[in-house]
Amino acid sequence: MSESGLLARIFPRLESSSSVLLGPGDDAAVVAAPDGRAVISIDTQTQDQDFRLDWNNGYRTTGYDVGWKSAAQNLSDINAMGGTATSLVVSLTMPPETPVSWVEDFADGLTAGIAGLGASDCSVAGGDLGRGREIAVTVAVVGTLHGKAPVLRSGAQPGDTLALAGTLGRAAAGLALLESTVPLESLTPEQRELVDRQCRPVPPLAAGPRAAAAGATAMMDVSDGLMRDGGRLATASGVILDLDPVALKAQAHALEAAASLLDVDPMDWVLGGGEDHGLLAAFPAGVELPEPFTAVGSVRAAAGGERVGVRIAGESADTVGWDHFAD
């Protein structure tokens, strides 16, 4: 099928929002910037690096999965700044033998992800199609802060409460199940849900603006693991994040059946697993945490030459999280 023919299949599947003033069809899109500023981020998924078409356990990745995940991970970045997304621009590169139905499913997944995650002010403004050796999707997202200051990684203060919105370890557990030899059809509903969390993450999009309104001093998306991303926030703020082991064990509870099946420690997924796209935020002491945040630790100053970073009940942990170039 030609590029124009394929676009004719894609465009009807993309809904439009009021933030997109001119959508697909011209050389460029026109999008609104309600408060005169734009929050921008970009992310890429590449076949056999970020996802496989065929997994060891028998699961086959659909275009819908990749479309949903492309929306989720980019919407989450705007959420982490305390903003809301207004538009996406999508570049899809693929081999010429890619089925048209896969591309249609991809467009459906994008649209469903935007709507299903609650990004009602956002839609796809345009993009690009290209030919390559493997499937690669790059999405740029634009958002608004609604006139407020962005919540940065660098504002956490000693005495702040450290809190989490969303979950930890679910997507990592799902990835481990996908990579295992345990047949997909033998998984329990609870274990299958973990697979879904890897293929179609559910970031808490309402939480970012709520955190900003409640006075969050620092915040970031947990995409590469709690220890790695927490370390980034700690370094940017020049502080130590001290995690509460009781709160972490509560996150691990939902992973115990899958961990037992694969003979692993569920805490490794909680500390090192990414792609749940929850939010880690710091709030001033005494502030009532907005829904759906729950306390997971505290912020303190480094003392006596102590290096900034993440601790668990005051002790170091050796789980490091995901690195695109080291892993």
Q: For position 163, what pLDDT does the model report? A: 98
Which residue matches tokens 């990835």?
A: 175
Summarize pLDDT for 4-30 with one digit per residue, the tens. 899 889 999 988 899 999 999 899 999
Range 55-89 burial, b when 16+ CB lie within 10 A, else e? bebebebbbbbbbbbbbbbbbbbbbbbbbbbbbbb
Residue 228's DSSP bridge partners are none
Q: For position 324, what pLDDT does the model report? A: 53
On the CB side of 17, CA atoms within 13 Å amount to 21
Q: For position 172, what pLDDT does the model report? A: 98
Q: For position 327, what pLDDT does the model report? A: 55
pTM for this structure? 0.94
Q: For position 49, what pLDDT does the model report? A: 94
Which residue matches tokens 């995690």?
A: 243
Residue numbers of the chain with a pLDDT score lower than 70: 318-327
Q: For position 1, what pLDDT does the model report? A: 86
* CA separation, residue 61 to residues 65, 109, 135, 215, 281 (Å): 6, 12, 12, 40, 32
